[in-house]
């Protein structure tokens, strides 16, 4: 049984081959990330400067910086968070702490999967029909942010629910046995022990929200608007749409400008993602039970 | 000892009792909000697109390749070419993404260990984080010249370009879900097979893959949904010309991209505007069915 | 002090999880200031019985019960504020649970729920409960340490201290000694004998000798049936039920 019989040798060789094959497939999948980053840095790096970040575009967007787009994206993300985080956390609390195993819960779960799966352009149509027209927000930061909030709601719900469910059930039972209500249990034991996991999800949502383009195209983001928004009823430029515009709609753009915009956008998004991942890793290390 | 029959505390609904009640109502509202939003999406899109009914000719819409809503003399709304565009791009994307994602999932779940595993997972997550407009930009500025040079074709914005990009975009979600499905197979199965002297690959092929096949199928379905619904990348990398593709180097136009490109130019309430919302309903319905199917398959796992 | 009202009374109590019957038609009474033992093999409905008393069925999907279950002379279903009911009943389950709070906050949890705010008062409660649970000497210098990071045996005593901090009139113990070493077990048993002066104790145990040492009367549960309720010694003489004697003598179960 312990001899290296021909059959075992053949198995071992095949094992090695299969292993390498799968490693190659994985590598081919993840290498583009590094490649893309490399190309963006190489071609767009020269565009980066403080002026690029903190001045307004000039000469029909063929020169100058991207300040209004940067500020606009921050407006959109912040308002989207204000709307979606409370709703998302409430929904996750319901699903994790309250929901009985019944048809309604299954319907909610299906709805969440669908909210996450509906094409972004369909969310855009919803935003136009509901927020721009029906609720009368017009094309504005408000309408765009609400659209983004609905679209990224599943990210908050799913990550919050995961964080809540990582808290062992026995902790809840111990509290209930002492006469704590569900809410007291959540407030004193469940939330304090999942808040960092919830935060990780929120950071992830920021990264997702900042990169979205289609949902804001017709709801509040403007192609060119070289000043900063003053209220939520204004339109605004946004990083993601700005990249689309300088890449496809504006003639005679210097080569490094769109690459610079892309670099800033992806830098923002990946930085948020990296923070979220680092946070999660750190959390796993400092286990409290 | 107190006489508890006389003690009112047990019947008094105190602050704690009422705040618990209030919170349970609030979180319930949060919970059903997801359903309300899904219904809202359907209702509001239908509301905007409803008036299209009078222009609705099923034969033309599903039978014609001519999408010319802006034509003065003869506006037609044939979506066949758009469907073909979406199908060709999504199809090619899946051809690339399915084997690679499943391969990567198998490697990450069954072969990789410790640090390698963590690094690979992070990279897959990074891949998922790249915004679609950046993908489109890459298709436009990097892949386009690359395809023109390599294959000596006049234009590189085509099925191949957008299919490749869509494949890379759909891969992370498929890899993640497929890996979850593989991880859900109990270790006892693997140990039992390994105790019989099977190699890792034999264990994977004979034991793990069959046990996880429903989860893998759900992963593929969700990947299809992602590819099918992608907008910006397809808009920028597919060439955006109405075409029934005959080769991977043909430019095409997708359903999603059509809405994105044309909605800004239409007058609210015009037949063209309404037609775009009808396309939205179509997209919504198809993704709903895909997600429903994936959900039923996953539920099948939990039951069985 | 001594009243004729039983502290706990169940009449024809049946418990089901979905279709599965956990306890069928049990009827007995537990008198005030008594240590009432419950023994029997696994899956005979002992823990389910405890869960009915403090209405944990509301947190257990699929769990239902029928028949009468009275605590302090009132049906447990008639209490309008279940949380108030649970605050009067201390529970210790077999697996120790130290909440991820400091040792101090673990024990102060229930008093705070009950509205105790004064620092001196809380300090006194924490010390008294930890002493009673035979844990004070080991943790008095690290009351700020996380309760969930104590050793298993310490966590179990922390759980007992927490149950006592509610100043319950009924204490339910479910195989508390599983995670505790024999010496500590003996110390806790001594504490229980004292506590009996102040409260009613229901002791579910898999250690027949523990029941013999502590319990005034003992019920024998078998396969979801309450076979006998008798003074504990009667189990060993066979006066209660022959099956009970077979069990306590180790012939099955």
> Is pLDDT of A4 > 60?
no
Q: Establish if B15 touches chain C: CB-CB under 8 angstroms.
A: no
How near does any CA of chain C get to the CA of A162, in Å?
18
Nearest to A19 among B20, B111, B124 (CB): B111
- Kindly determine whether residue A184 and residue B16, on different chains, have CB atoms separated by under 8 Å: yes
> Is pLDDT of C2 > 70?
no
Is the Cα torsion angle B140, B144, B146, B149 positive or negative in sign? negative
Closest-CA residue of A relative to B282 is A122
The pLDDT score that the predictor gives to residue B5 is 45
How near does any CA of chain B get to the CA of C225, in Å?
30
DSSP three-state, residue A63:
strand
Element (H, E) at B161: helix B159-183
The C-alpha atoms of residue A124 and residue A160 are separated, in whole angstroms, by: 25
DSSP code of A236? B
Nearest to A262 among B103, B125, B134 (CB): B134
Closest-CA residue of B relative to C76 is B10
Residue written as tokens 């319950």? Answer: C168
- Kindly determine whether residue A173 and residue C59, on different chains, have CB atoms separated by under 8 Å: yes
| Residue ranges with strand state E in A1-139 | 57-58, 63-64
> What tokens does A109 get?
């779960």
Q: Establish if B268 touches chain C: CB-CB under 8 angstroms.
A: no
pLDDT tens-place string over residues C189-245: 998 999 999 999 999 998 899 999 999 999 999 999 999 999 998 988 878 888 888
Q: Establish if C156 touches chain A: CB-CB under 8 angstroms.
A: no
Which chain A residues are within 8 Å of B37, Cβ to Cβ? 111, 115, 150, 153
Q: How confident is the model at residue B8 (pLDDT cuts 50, 70, 90)?
A: low
> Is pLDDT of C4 > 70?
no
pLDDT, chain C, mean:
90
Residue written as tokens 């996880």? Answer: B212
> Is pLDDT of C65 > 50?
yes
- Kindly determine whether residue B4 and residue C72, on different chains, have CB atoms separated by under 8 Å: yes
| Bridge pairing between strands C35-39 and C200-204 | parallel
The C-alpha atoms of residue C156 and residue A176 are separated, in whole angstroms, by: 17
Q: Ramachandran region of residue B94, left (φ > 0), alpha (ψ -120 to 50) or beta? A: alpha
Nearest to B10 among C84, C113, C198 (CB): C84
DSSP code of B267? P
The total number of residues shown for chain A amounts to 289
> Domain ranges in chain C?
8-96+168-248
Residue B145 belongs to some domain of the structure: yes
Q: Contact at 8 Å (CB) between C180 and C160?
A: no
- Kindly determine whether residue C148 and residue A177, on different chains, have CB atoms separated by under 8 Å: no
| Bridge pairing between strands C35-39 and C217-222 | parallel
Q: Is C202 exposed, middle or buried (0-12, 13-18, 19+ CB in 10 A)?
A: buried
pLDDT, chain A, mean:
91
pLDDT tens-place string over residues A121-176: 999 999 999 999 999 999 999 999 999 999 999 999 999 999 999 999 999 999 99
Report DSSP letters for chain C, one per residue: ---SS-SEEEEEEEEEETTEEEEEEEEEEE-TT-EEEEE-STTSSHHHHHHHHTTGGGGSTTEEEEEEEEETTEEGGG-S-HHHHHHHEEEE-SS----SSBHHHHHHHHHHHTT---HHHHHHHHHHHHHHTT-HHHHTT-TTSBGGGS-HHHHHHHHHHHHHHT--SEEEEESGGGGS-HHHHHHHHHHHHHHTTTSEEEEE-S-HHHHHHH-SEEEEEETTEEEEEEEHHHHHHTSS-HHHHHHHTTS--
> What tokens does A80 get?
């989207």
CATH at A168:
1.10.3720.10
How near does any CA of chain B get to the CA of C80, in Å?
5
- Kindly determine whether residue C169 and residue B10, on different chains, have CB atoms separated by under 8 Å: no
Give me the mean pLDDT over the C60-66 stretch. Answer: 90
- Kindly determine whether residue A178 and residue C93, on different chains, have CB atoms separated by under 8 Å: no
Residue B292 belongs to some domain of the structure: yes
pLDDT tens-place string over residues C108-145: 999 999 888 999 999 999 999 999 888 999 999 999 99
Residue A25 belongs to some domain of the structure: no
The pLDDT score that the predictor gives to residue A1 is 47
Residue B12 belongs to some domain of the structure: no
The pLDDT score that the predictor gives to residue C21 is 92
The C-alpha atoms of residue B14 and residue A174 are separated, in whole angstroms, by: 21
Q: How confident is the model at residue B1 (pLDDT cuts 50, 70, 90)?
A: very low
> What tokens does C144 get?
């700020």
Q: Establish if A69 touches chain B: CB-CB under 8 angstroms.
A: no
In sequence order, what are the residues at sequence separation of 6 or more whose Cβ sits closer than 8 angstroms to the Cβ of residue A129?
B44, B45, B47, B48, B277
Number of domains in chain A: 1
Give me the mean pLDDT over the C92-119 stretch. Answer: 91
> Is pLDDT of B297 > 90?
no
C171, β-bridge pairs: C90, C201
Q: Contact at 8 Å (CB) between B30 and A89?
A: yes
The pLDDT score that the predictor gives to residue B304 is 47
Closest-CA residue of B relative to A37 is B130
Neighbours of chain C (3+ CB pairs under 8 A): A, B
Q: How confident is the model at residue B197 (pLDDT cuts 50, 70, 90)?
A: confident
Nearest to C100 among A101, A177, A193 (CB): A193
Element (H, E) at A284: helix A256-285
Q: Is B209 exposed, middle or buried (0-12, 13-18, 19+ CB in 10 A)?
A: middle
Which chain B residues are within 8 Å of C1, Cβ to Cβ? 1
Number of domains in chain B: 1
Q: Ramachandran region of residue C241, left (φ > 0), alpha (ψ -120 to 50) or beta? A: beta
φ/ψ of B254, rounded to 5, equals: -100, 160
Residue A96 belongs to some domain of the structure: yes
Alpha-carbon separation of residue B172 from A152, B118, B218, B243 (angstroms): 18, 15, 14, 29
Residue among A66, A74, A60 at smallest CA distance from A44: A66
How near does any CA of chain A get to the CA of B231, in Å?
6
- Kindly determine whether residue C74 and residue B10, on different chains, have CB atoms separated by under 8 Å: yes
Residue B49 belongs to some domain of the structure: no
- Kindly determine whether residue B1 and residue C74, on different chains, have CB atoms separated by under 8 Å: no
Nearest to A178 among C59, C100, C110 (CB): C110
Residue B16 belongs to some domain of the structure: no
Neighbours of chain B (3+ CB pairs under 8 A): A, C
Element (H, E) at B77: strand B76-77
Is the Cα torsion angle C189, C190, C192, C193 positive or negative in sign? positive
The pLDDT score that the predictor gives to residue B59 is 82
The pLDDT score that the predictor gives to residue A286 is 74
pLDDT tens-place string over residues B86-144: 999 999 999 999 999 999 999 999 999 888 998 999 899 888 999 999 999 999 999 99
> What domain range is A163 assigned to?
60-285
The C-alpha atoms of residue C27 and residue A103 are separated, in whole angstroms, by: 37
| Residue numbers of A between 4 and 43 with CB closer than 8 Å to B | 11-12, 14-15, 18-19, 21-23, 25-26, 28-30, 32-34, 36, 39
How near does any CA of chain B get to the CA of A69, in Å?
15
What fold, for C8-96+168-248? Answer: Rossmann fold (3.40.50)
pLDDT tens-place string over residues C164-178: 999 999 999 999 888
Half-sphere exposure of C185 (CA within 13 A, CB side): 17
- Kindly determine whether residue B34 and residue A243, on different chains, have CB atoms separated by under 8 Å: no
Number of inter-chain CB pairs under 8 A, B vs C: 38
The C-alpha atoms of residue A205 and residue C214 are separated, in whole angstroms, by: 58
CATH at B100:
1.10.3720.10
pLDDT tens-place string over residues A194-232: 998 899 889 989 999 999 999 999 999 988 888 889 999
């Amino acid at each position: 049984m312990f001899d290296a019989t021909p059959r075992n040798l053949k198995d071992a060789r095949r094992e090695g081959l299969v292993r390498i094959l799968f490693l190659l497939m994985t590598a081919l999948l993840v290498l583009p990330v590094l490649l893309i980053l490399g190309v963006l840095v190489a071609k767009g790096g020269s565009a980066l400067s403080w002026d690029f970040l903190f001045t307004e575009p000039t000469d029909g967007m063929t020169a100058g910086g991207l300040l209004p787009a940067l500020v606009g994206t921050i407006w959109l993300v912040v308002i989207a968070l204000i709307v979606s985080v409370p709703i998302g956390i409430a929904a996750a609390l319901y699903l994790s702490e309250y929901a009985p195993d019944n048809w309604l819960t299954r319907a909610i779960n299906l709805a969440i999967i669908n909210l996450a799966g509906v094409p972004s352009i369909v969310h855009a149509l919803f935003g136009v029909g509901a927020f721009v027209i029906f609720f009368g927000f017009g094309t504005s930061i408000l309408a765009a942010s609400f659209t983004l909030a609905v679209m990224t709601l599943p990210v908050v719900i799913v990550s919050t629910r995961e964080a809540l469910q990582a808290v062992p059930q026995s902790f809840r039972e111990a509290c209930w046995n002492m006469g704590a209500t569900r809410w007291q249990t959540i407030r004193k034991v469940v939330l304090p022990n999942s808040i960092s996991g919830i935060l990780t999800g929120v950071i992830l949502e920021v990264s997702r929200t900042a990169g979205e383009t289609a949902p804001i195209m017709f709801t509040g983001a403007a192609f060119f608007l070289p000043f900063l928004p003053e209220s939520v009823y204004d339109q605004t430029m946004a990083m993601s749409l700005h990249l689309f515009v300088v890449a496809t709609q504006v003639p005679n753009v210097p080569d490094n400008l769109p690459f610079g915009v892309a670099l800033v956008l992806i830098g923002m998004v990946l930085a948020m993602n990296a923070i979220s991942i680092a946070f999660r890793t750190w959390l796993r290390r400092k286990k409290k039970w | 000892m107190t006489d508890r029959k006389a003690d009112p505390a047990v019947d008094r609904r105190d602050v704690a009792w009422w705040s618990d009640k209030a919170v349970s109502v609030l979180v319930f509202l949060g919970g059903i909000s997801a359903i309300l939003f899904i219904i809202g999406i359907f209702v509001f899109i239908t509301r905007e697109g409803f008036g299209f009914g009078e222009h609705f000719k099923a034969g033309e819409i599903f039978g014609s390749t001519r999408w010319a809503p802006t034509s003065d003399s003869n506006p037609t709304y044939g979506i066949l070419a758009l469907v073909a565009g979406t199908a060709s791009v999504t199809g090619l994307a899946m051809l690339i993404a399915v084997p690679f994602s499943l391969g990567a999932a198998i490697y990450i779940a069954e072969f990789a260990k410790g640090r390698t595993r963590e690094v690979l997972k992070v990279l897959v997550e990074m891949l998922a984080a790249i915004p679609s407009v950046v993908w489109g930009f890459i298709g436009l500025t990097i892949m386009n010249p690359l395809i023109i040079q390599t294959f000596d074709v006049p234009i590189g914005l085509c099925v191949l370009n957008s299919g490749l990009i869509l494949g890379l975009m759909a891969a992370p979600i498929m890899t993640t879900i497929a890996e979850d499905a593989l991880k859900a197979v109990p270790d006892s199965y693997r140990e039992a097979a390994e105790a019989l002297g099977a190699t890792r690959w034999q264990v994977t092929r004979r034991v793990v893959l069959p046990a996880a096949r429903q989860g893998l199928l759900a992963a593929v379905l969700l990947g299809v949904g992602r590819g099918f619904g992608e907008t910006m990348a397809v808009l920028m990398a597919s060439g955006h010309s109405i075409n029934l593709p005959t080769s991977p180097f043909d430019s095409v136009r997708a359903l999603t991209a059509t809405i994105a490109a044309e909605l800004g130019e239409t007058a609210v309430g015009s037949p063209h505007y309404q037609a775009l919302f009808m396309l939205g309903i179509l997209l919504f319905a198809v993704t709903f069915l895909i997600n429903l199917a994936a959900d039923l398959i996953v539920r099948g796992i939990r039951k069985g | 002090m001594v009243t004729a009202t039983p502290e706990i009374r169940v009449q024809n109590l049946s418990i089901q999880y979905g279709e599965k019957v956990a306890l069928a038609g049990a009827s007995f009474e537990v008198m005030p200031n008594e240590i009432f033992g419950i023994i029997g093999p696994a899956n005979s409905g002992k823990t389910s019985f405890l869960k009915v008393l403090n209405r944990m069925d509301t947190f257990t999907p699929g769990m239902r019960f029928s028949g009468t279950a009275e605590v302090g002379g009132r049906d447990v279903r008639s209490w309008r504020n279940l949380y108030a009911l649970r605050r009067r009943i201390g529970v210790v389950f077999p697996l120790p649970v130290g909440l991820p709070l400091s040792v101090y906050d673990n024990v102060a949890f229930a008093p705070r729920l009950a509205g105790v705010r004064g620092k001196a008062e809380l300090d006194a409660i924490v010390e008294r409960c930890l002493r009673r649970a035979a844990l004070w000497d080991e943790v008095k210098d690290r009351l700020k340490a996380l309760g969930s990071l104590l050793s298993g045996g310490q966590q179990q005593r922390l759980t007992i201290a927490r149950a006592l901090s509610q100043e319950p009139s009924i204490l339910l113990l479910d195989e508390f000694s599983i995670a505790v070493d024999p010496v500590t077990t003996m110390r806790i048993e001594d504490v229980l004998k004292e506590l009996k002066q102040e409260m009613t104790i229901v002791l579910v145990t898999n250690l027949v000798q523990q029941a013999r040492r502590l319990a005034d009367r003992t019920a024998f549960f078998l396969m979801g049936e309450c076979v006998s309720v008798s003074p504990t010694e009667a189990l060993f003489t066979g006066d209660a039920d022959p099956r009970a004697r077979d069990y306590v003598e180790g012939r099955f179960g």
